[in-house]
Chain A
Amino acid sequence: MPDEETLEEGILNPVKPEIQDPLLQSLLADAPMVERPIVPEPAPLEIPLPAETVDCIVIGTGAGGAPLLARLAMAGLKVVALEAGPWHDPKKDFATDEKAQEFLFWNDERLSAGHDPVAFGKNNSGTGVGGSTLHYTAYTPRPQPEDLHLHRDFGVGQDWPFGYEELEPYFEELEQFLGISGPTPYPWGPARRKGYPLAPLPLNGAAQLMQRGCEALGIRTSPAANAALSARYYQEGVGWREACTNRGFCQAGCSTGAKASMDVTFLPLAAAYGADIRPGCYVTEIERDDTGKITGVIYQQNGVEQRLRCRHLFLCAGAVETPRLLLLNELALSSGHVGRNFMAHPGVQVFGTFAEEVRPFKGIPGSLISQDTFRPKDADFAGGYLLQSIGIMPVTFAGQVARGRKLWGEPLRQYMQQYNHIAGINILGDCLPHADNFLELAEEKDARGLPKPRLHFTNHENEIRMNAHAEKLMRQIWEAAGATDIWAFPRSAHVIGTARMGLSGDDAVVDANGKAFDVPNLYICDNSVFPSALSVNPALTIMALALRTADKFLENQK
C-alpha cells in the first residue's frame, strides 16, 4: 500500500526489491559483504511526459480487453493496449509440451489462503498478448437467463444490474465472429435467432463414455459449444483460419490458430483499425489530477519506466490483477468492495478407468456437455452447474493424481500406466460471495517490490452441497458407463468477483456500464465485475460484457 507521502506525489517511489527469502537473508547476513565505497544514488530519471494523450488505454488483452479494444479502435478512437506478457507466434513458439508452455501462465506468485486455497498459474490465469484466452479450453456455453438472477430466485447472492436480453445480441455476434462450433438447436435455454455458424467438433473417447453413462441415467447430453473451428472459417480483419486438428492441447496453447484466442481474432481486428498493442508492458501506477480524474499510467517496458497519458482508462487485467492495481493505487475504493466478493467456480472432477482405450490427449478437451443440472430438482443448494467431459494432458493429470489421490512410489507409476484408459467429467457451478473470501495485498513483496496478492477462499455450505451433489452424480454416470477405480479431485476453477458491478456505489465498484462509481474516467471490464459467478465457463460472457461496455461508452461519448 503506498504511504501518504508517495500518494501526494502521485507516484510510487521506485521500491528496491526486498529480499523475502529468509534463506537468502541469512546467507547474506552470514557472509560479510565486501566493503564497498558508498556511491550516492543517482537521482531518479524523470520519466518523460509523452507529447500526446491517447483517447483510451486498455490494460490487459484477454477476453475483457481485446473485444473492447477492437470496438473502440473501429469507432475511430486512438487506443493503446498495454499487455504485461509478450507477443507469441503460436505456429513457431507453441510446443506440444506442457512444461515448455508454462510461459503462457501468470506465474508471478499469488498467496492462496483460506480452508480451500485456490490454485493459480496454469489453473486459471494467463499472460501474453491474448491473456488467459491463450490457454482456455475454448468452452463457450451461454449463461442461462436465470443465471443473472440468483438473488431474485433464491434470496442469496447478487443479481446482475441488467437482464439476459442485454447480453444476448452480443452472444450471437461473438458466436458468428469467432466461428464457434456447436449444436443447433442448442438443447438448453431460450430459442435462438441464429444457430452456431459451424457444426460441433467430433466427440472424443471421454465424450462417448460420458454420453453412454448419461444415457443410462436419463440425462440429456449434447456436443459442447467450443470456440475452436470445426471447419475453415473466414473472419473479418483476420482472414482464413484453419480447422481444429484435435491436438487436445487447448490449455497449453493452440499452435494452429483454430482456437479463438484473442491473439488470432479480436486483436488482429483491433490492429487493422489502428489500435496500438504494446506487449511486455507492466503497469505499476495510475496517475490522477487534483479532481481525481485519471490522467495516465506509468508502466515498465523492458525495465524502463514509461508514462502514457490518456483521457479514459479501461482496466481489463482479470479478477486478481485488476483489484490489485486498484488497491495499489488506492483507486475506486469508496464502496469498500474492491477485493471483496471473490468467487471461484466449484469444479470437482471425477475420473474413472475404462476397459476401452480412451487416449485422453486427443480432441477438444471439453467435448460433451449437459446442462440438465442447471436447476436440479433434488438440489439442496441455490443455483446450479453444468457437466462436461474432460480430456487430459499427461503432466497436468499426473500432478492432480499426486495432489488429489496422494499416490506416490510404485502405486503412482502403476496408476499412471492406465493413462490411455482414463476419462474424466467435471462441473462448473455457481459460487456465492462470502465476506471471508477476498483479495488483499500481502506484506510480502514481488520482484518488482510490489506487494503480492493474497486470496482467501473457503467453500461454504452452498458450494460444499453443490460439489457433493455433483460428485455423487458423476460417480453414478461413470459407474453406468462401466468405469472402475472412480475417484474425485476437488478443485476450484475460474476466479470471479473482486470489483463487482451493481446499481449503487454503496455495494459495487462499477455501474451497469462498467464505469467506476467514484472515478470519472475509469472503466473495468473483465471477470472481476461479475456480480455473480454464473453456472458456465466465463469467457463468452466476459467478451459479451466487453462489447457491451465499449458500446455504452461510445454512446455516452456522443
Chain B
Amino acid sequence: MASSAYPAGTVRALLATDLVTEATRTALQARLDAPDYEPQFFDAATYELLRMVAARLFPQPDRDSPIELAPAIDQRLLTGGSDGWRYDVLPPDREAYRLGLGGIRESARVIFGAPFEELTGLQQDAVLQAVQNETAPGPLWDTLSANRFFEELLAELTENYYAHPLAQEEIGYVGMADVPGWSKITLNQKEDREPAVNE
C-alpha cells in the first residue's frame, strides 16, 4: 500500500504559515475540514453505491477515514456544474451517472448473482474492470457507452482525490507553499521548506 511521501502533518503545518496565500489556504483548508456530507442529488442507496465504487477505484486502507470523493460529485450534479465539455456519445451528466451506476448494479447481478454492495472487493473490481473493458453485461449498457462513462467517472474521482491536501502530501507535492517563489528548480534540488521524502 502506498505510504505518504511526506511526513504526516506536512501540509497542515505549511497551511498555518505565510508561505501560503490566503486564497490557497482557504481552498485547501476547506477540503481538510469538510464536514460529514448528506447526499442531496442522489438517493441514499445510489449515493452509497457511488461511495463503494469510489472505494474500489481509490482504496485507502492506510487512512483511518478515507478522503471522501463522492460529495463533490453529488454537489456538482445538484448544481448542474460542468467542466466545459462532454463526450457526445454520453447523455447529460446526471443521466449518465444514473444509467452508469444502474449499469454497475445490473452487471454485478448478472455476473455474480448478488448486489454490488454484497460482493467481495475482488468481485467488485471484476465488475468495474468489465465496465472499463466494455464487456460488462446488462441491458443498461446498450444505452450508455461503458468505457466512456468509466473514463469520466474515474477522471472525476481522480481529480477529486488529488485535489485533497492529504493526497498531495502522499505524492510529495508542496506546490501550495509558493509565496516566496521557487529558486531551486533544477534536478535534485529542493528548498529548505520542502521536507525530506520518506523512503
Contacts and interface: CB of A to CB of B under 8 A. Distances in A.
B56 A113 contact: no
Contacts of A119: 85
B175 A412 contact: no
B84 A105 contact: yes
A95 B21 contact: yes
A357 B188 contact: yes
B114 interface: no
Interface stretch (A52-60, A74-82, A245-253, A301-309): A245-253
A490 interface: no
A414 interface: yes
Contact of A402 (B98, B158, B170, B181): B158
Q: Which of B24, B88, B94, B98 has the most CB of A within 10 A?
A: B88
Interface stretch (A18-26, A188-196, A326-334): A18-26
Interface string B160-199: 0111000010111101101011110111111000100100
B171 A419 contact: yes
A120 B85 CA distance: 6
Interface string B19-61: 0111110111000000000000000000000000000111100
Contacts of A249: 175, 178
A246 B189 CA distance: 14
A358 interface: yes
Interface in A203-260: 203-205, 208-209, 245-249, 255-256
B173 to A, nearest CB: 5
Contacts of A205: 185-187
A337 interface: no
Given A110-B84, A202-B185, A23 B163 contact: no
Interface residue tally on A, bucketed by range: 35 or more
A406 interface: yes
A359 B194 CA distance: 11
Contacts of A125: 84
Interface in A456-507: none
Nearest to A421: B172
Contact of B182 (A105, A248, A406): A248
A237 B159 CA distance: 40
Contact of B21 (A22, A96, A105, A398): A96
Contacts of A111: 85-88
A362 B185 contact: yes
A282 to B, nearest CB: 15
A209 B2 CA distance: 27
Nearest to A97: B27
A125 B83 CA distance: 11
Contact of A109 (B20, B82, B157, B197): B82
28 contacts: A96-B178, A97-B24, A97-B28, A98-B163, A106-B84, A107-B81, A107-B82, A110-B84, A110-B86, A113-B89, A120-B85, A245-B178, A246-B181, A356-B187, A359-B190, A359-B194, A363-B185, A393-B175, A394-B171, A394-B175, A398-B159, A398-B161, A402-B155, A406-B132, A409-B57, A410-B2, A419-B172, A419-B173
Interface of B: 1-2, 5, 20-24, 26-28, 56-59, 80-89, 91-92, 94-95, 98, 125, 128, 132, 151, 154-155, 157-159, 161-163, 168, 170-173, 175-176, 178, 180-183, 185-190, 194, 197
Interface of A: 20-24, 92-100, 102, 105-113, 117-122, 125, 202-205, 208-209, 245-249, 255-256, 356-359, 361-363, 393-395, 398-399, 401-403, 406, 408-410, 412-414, 416-417, 419-420, 444, 447, 454
